[in-house]
């Protein structure tokens, strides 16, 4: 399967713990995005990378959140000192401008985070 | 701030009926995408519309982009239980991010 993959699919943690999620984009895609989706809502943008450069971060991305894409391939999203309000589905998407239509993003299956 | 509003938020109809879902904004978008999302999964891209007035068809699904590129609609003909899911519209929000509507949860009853 050459789609976007995310690991783990589910994560249950206790408040105050740190968690890290991984996203592997479609191999030829140089743009990678992180979104967060809470129950009953559409996804909300968190941050995006072009190759290894993080080009934009949303105000939703507090200081406890950090994202990296060290070699321009896979990306990690870390949440430090988790809070119950961090419980959500974390979605990763990738795209390649010039391949298909601009802004056309393809999503992974998501990581469901539950903070107890 | 660009916002997309979808209506209705919930829709439950019988198999074989037709339906239309709307996606509206006060902002102009360079493109709009429609996604379908199953519970516990990521959104799956259905279609992208780019040109004002554009109409695209995907089997029983018809997508239209408004002339002013501020709104879009999704029409399903002869709905089937397999069409059940969360339908999301999303527009280009600048700097390549997508702005999503809150979704329309569609249930097709056999």
Q: Please judge whether A107 and B43 are an interchain contact, meaning their C-beta atoms are less than 8 angstroms apart.
A: yes
Average pLDDT in the A84-113 region? 88
Q: Please judge whether A112 and B40 are an interchain contact, meaning their C-beta atoms are less than 8 angstroms apart.
A: yes
Rounded to a whole number of angstroms, the distance from the CA of B79 to the nearest CA of chain A is: 23
Helix ranges (H only) for chain A are none
Torsions phi, psi for B21 (to 5 deg): -115, 140
Count CB atoms within 10 A of the CB of residue A26: 17
Average pLDDT in the B82-96 region? 85
A94 pairs with which residues across the strands?
Answer: A32, A106
pLDDT value at A89 more than 90: yes
Q: Please judge whether B101 and A45 are an interchain contact, meaning their C-beta atoms are less than 8 angstroms apart.
A: no
Rounded to a whole number of angstroms, the distance from the CA of A43 to the nearest CA of chain B is: 6
**pLDDT, chain B, mean:** 93
Angle at CA B76, nearest 5°, toward B70 and B77?
A: 140
Q: What is the pLDDT of residues B8-26, one digit of tens each?
A: 999 999 999 999 999 999 8
Helix (H) and strand (E) counts in chain B: 0, 11
Rounded to a whole number of angstroms, the distance from the CA of B96 to the nearest CA of chain A is: 6
Query: Whose CA is closest to B86, among B37, B33, B20?
Result: B37
Q: Please judge whether B41 and A106 are an interchain contact, meaning their C-beta atoms are less than 8 angstroms apart.
A: no
Residue in A with minimal Cα distance to B45: A106
pLDDT at residue A101, as a whole number: 62
Q: Among B31, B43, B98, select the one facing A45 at the smallest CB separation.
A: B98
Q: Residues near B18 by Cβ (< 8 Å), separated by ≥ 6?
A: B75, B76, B77, B78, B79
- Burial category of A33 from C-beta neighbours within 10 Å (exposed 0-12, middle 13-18, buried 19 and up): buried
Q: Among B42, B95, B103, select the one facing A91 at the smallest CB separation.
A: B42
Secondary structure (3-state) at B63: strand
- For A25-104, strand residue ranges (E) read 31-37, 44-50, 53-57, 65-68, 75-79, 88-95
- Burial category of A84 from C-beta neighbours within 10 Å (exposed 0-12, middle 13-18, buried 19 and up): exposed
d(CA A21, CA A77): 5
Q: From residue B3, how far is each of B16, B23, B29, B61, B84 by CA, in Å? A: 32, 10, 10, 24, 25
Residue B96's pLDDT band (boundaries 50, 70, 90)? confident
Q: What is the pLDDT of residues A36-73, one digit of tens each?
A: 999 989 999 999 999 999 998 998 888 999 999 998 89
């Amino acid at each position: 399967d050459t789609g976007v993959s995310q690991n783990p699919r589910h994560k249950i943690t206790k408040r105050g713990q740190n968690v890290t999620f991984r996203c592997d984009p479609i191999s030829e895609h140089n743009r990678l995005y992180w979104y967060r989706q809470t129950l009953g809502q559409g996804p909300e943008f968190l941050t995006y990378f072009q190759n290894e450069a993080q080009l934009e971060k949303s105000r939703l991305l507090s200081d406890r959140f950090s994202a990296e894409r060290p070699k321009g391939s896979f990306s990690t999203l870390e949440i430090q000192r988790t809070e119950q309000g961090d419980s959500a589905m974390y979605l990763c998407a990738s795209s390649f401008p010039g391949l298909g239509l601009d802004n056309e993003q393809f999503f992974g299956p998501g990581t469901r985070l539950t903070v107890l | 701030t660009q916002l997309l509003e979808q209506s209705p938020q919930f829709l439950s109809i019988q198999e074989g009926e037709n339906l239309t879902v709307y996606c509206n904004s006060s902002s102009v978008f360079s493109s709009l995408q429609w996604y379908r999302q199953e519970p516990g999964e990521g959104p799956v891209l259905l279609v992208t519309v780019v040109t004002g007035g554009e109409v695209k068809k995907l089997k029983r699904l018809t997508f239209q982009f408004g002339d002013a590129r501020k709104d879009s609609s999704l029409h399903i003909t002869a709905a089937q239980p397999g069409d059940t899911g969360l339908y999301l519209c999303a527009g280009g929000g600048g700097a390549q991010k997508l702005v999503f509507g809150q979704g329309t949860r569609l249930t097709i009853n056999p």
